[in-house]
Amino acid sequence: MSLNTFQIETARLVLRVPRATDLDSFAAMMADEETAKFIGGVAPRAVTWRFLMSLIGAWHAYGFAMFSVYEKDTGRWVGRLGPWMPDGWPGPEVGWGIVRERWGYGYATEGAAAAIDWTFDHLGWTQVIHCIDPANTASQAVARKLGSRNLAPGKLPPPFHDSPIDIWGQSREEWRARR
């Protein structure tokens, strides 16, 4: 698989391996207080650059990480989502973060469903989780649409260890039975 050309297409989205050229859009998303609230908080451009480089590096080191998400119709970068499992993470996650201007379009659900299919089919994962702040009702709704349920309170590794999360998720068998 060539990381330069690999992508997943849905009805309205293109999910592809992040590139350095995504930085401006990613930094704008992470500078928006409302959007960044439940995905690590507002981050300056330099911190966003480090996170973007972590995603790119994880693709090269492990063969997976979150995707950059683009609208098919406009070519606009609208977020990042997909598989994520840093050291010390509570499990194999598919997470999402979409720019505020595209909330309510169903992009998180559409993209996450494609990413979950890919993780089960190509990474061999047997379960998927979503780490969701108990106050993040929008992400809870996305998790429910995906067929996940609240499994238990959880804990993230430092520096996010003081942030409350619930672990939502489901097994590969549960996912496939719904599809």
Rounded to whole angstroms, the Cα distance separating 133 from 166 reads 6
Looking at this protein, which amino acid is placed at residue 176? Answer: R
Helix (H, G, I), strand (E, B) or coil at 112: helix
Looking at this protein, which amino acid is placed at residue 162? Answer: D
Nearest residue to 8 via CA among 171, 147, 121, 124: 121
For residue 137, the surrounding DSSP H or E stretch is helix 137-145
Rounded to whole angstroms, the Cα distance separating 14 from 101 reads 17
Q: pLDDT tens for residues 13-60?
A: 999 999 999 999 999 999 999 999 999 999 999 999 999 999 999 999
Terminal Cα distance for the chain, rounded: 26
Residue 179 is predicted with a pLDDT of 78
Confidence check: pLDDT of 1 > 80: no
Q: Mean pLDDT in the chain?
A: 97
Give 18-68 as a 3 state SS string: CCHHHHHHHHHHHHCHHHHCCCCCCCCHHHHHHHHHHHHHHHHHHCCCCEE
Q: pLDDT tens for residues 59-115?
A: 999 999 999 999 999 999 999 999 999 999 999 999 999 999 999 999 999 999 999
Domain boundaries, the chain: 7-178
Q: What is the pTM of this model?
A: 0.96
Nearest residue to 90 via CA among 139, 40, 160, 149: 160
CATH class of 7-178: alpha beta
Residue 143 is predicted with a pLDDT of 98
Residue 41: phi and psi, rounded to 5, are: 90, 165
